[in-house]
Amino acid sequence: MRNLVIDFELTILFPLILLALIVFWIQFRAYLSARSDCKAATKRLKGSFGTREEGEECLAWGTSRYRDKRRARQLAVFLACALVVLCAVIFLPESWKADAAFLSFSLMFFVSTISFLIAIPVAWQYAEKSDWLKLGICLLAMLMAAASAEHFSHQQTNARHITCPHCNNDDGPDDN
């Protein structure tokens, strides 16, 4: 069970935490930038304008920056909550992590299979155009998708045996 949990942490949990941290940092910087722009817009709105068009333009710009600030804040709060949940998974017991691993490996198998199926017509299109570099990259992506689907399929089976030791490969109970 320990090897399955380690694989779950290394292939799914830690990359998700890293991705959430990166996106959180980007959104936090966007929020700070929009906040400073909102302060500048407020100062400009309090000042006097030469024409009515300049005032309306400044108001529209400030309104869009307030909207950007609100969106960045909402996404940053969502990502912070997601980070807390993902970090809490690290401290769960191994039996719960095995259940989470089964669900995660099932989802990742589905995503890898869909990625492989999408790459087939893309590779066909590049082959018809004789764009060999893009065809080679697409074939490598297909290879990676197939390999990851195979890996996640095996890990899904391993997780199923750990979470339900009395079930066989046919997902039915054993006759023993």
Helix 52-90 vs helix 14-46: angle between axes, to the nearest 10 degrees?
160
Average pLDDT for consecutive 10-residue bins of the chain (176 residues)?
Answer: 86 92 90 77 62 62 75 89 92 89 92 95 93 94 94 89 73 49
Q: 175 by DSSP, 3-state: which?
A: coil
Q: What is the pLDDT of residue 57?
A: 63
Q: What is the pLDDT of residue 87?
A: 92
Could you give the C-alpha distances from 132 to 40, 115, 146, 155, in angstroms and in order?
A: 51, 20, 21, 34
Handedness of CA 133, 136, 140, 146 (dihedral sign): positive
Q: What is the pLDDT of residue 176?
A: 44
For the chain, the structural domain boundaries read 1-91, 93-176
**71: exposed, middle or buried (Cβ count in 10 Å: 0-12, 13-18, 19+):** middle
Q: 135 by DSSP, 3-state: which?
A: helix
Q: What is the pLDDT of residue 51?
A: 59
**Phi and psi torsions of 13, nearest 5°:** -65, -55
